[in-house]
Amino acid sequence: MPSSRVSPRSHENEHQPGRGERAEFALIGAVVDLIDEEGVTGLTVDKIAARAKVGKPTIYRRWANKEELVAYALGHSEALAPFDPDGDLRTTLIDVIENLEYRLTSTRVGRVWCRLLGSDDRYSDATRIYADLFVSPRIDALVSLLERDMATGSLRPDTDPVAIVTMMISTVVGGVLNVRPTGRPAPSAKAIVDAYLNGLAPRSDTQQSTRT
């Protein structure tokens, strides 16, 4: 009777991370751990290397400075939820806003990101690099989604899609950082999206003549 045990050879083609990948995983974890535990003020390459148990040359072979490493770590420590670029605009925007709010309020990476936003100018390069690599492509995809609905007449033709996406994201970040009227809760994702989309709906002829 043949054995039911799986032979070790059946796993020989499975990917096993090499030393470089293991070092990268360790560095990503070290950056997030240190900022989450101690904040950004005392973060140094020496501390990161010691926590990750790698030498500093390993860091500088891959990243030019600490800011690049911090940006990379934030971008690769937790994947952003994908969205359908051909999906319904309102549903997609609500999903994206809810995911952003969840990441900022309920994950370690979100806590770290909020600490960076509240830090001094020393980490402005890290936030800029992170935005260029990981945020801008996502914003571009959302802008394309708005432009699609502008072309079909679902949104006003004078809509500025870049401004709309930027303001939606700023509304969420401001709510998380308590930049809102005292005592008032942060608006929900549905409230944010509907407020913008209602204002962007095509005007009737009567509305247009009233405004002119």
At 135 the pLDDT is 82
CA distance 212 to 204: 13
101 CB-near residues (< 8 Å, 6+ apart): 172, 175, 176, 186, 189
Q: What is the pLDDT of residues 91-124, one digit of tens each?
A: 999 999 998 888 888 888 888 877 777 665 566 7
Q: What is the pLDDT of residues 41-58, one digit of tens each?
A: 788 999 999 999 999 999
Q: What is the pLDDT of residues 60-94, one digit of tens each?
A: 999 999 989 988 888 887 666 777 878 899 999 99
48 CB-near residues (< 8 Å, 6+ apart): 27, 30, 31, 34, 59, 66, 69
Segment (H or E) for 42: none
At 42 the pLDDT is 82
At 11 the pLDDT is 40
What average pLDDT score do residues 160-170 get?
Answer: 91
Would the pLDDT of 136 be above 90?
no
Tally of helices (H runs) and strands (E runs) in the chain:
11, 0
CA distance 111 to 37: 10
* Domains in the chain: ranges and CATH: 18-76 (1.10.10.60), 89-203 (1.10.357.10)
| pTM: predicted TM-score of the whole model, two decimal places | 0.70
- Work out the mean pLDDT of the chain and round it to a whole number: 80
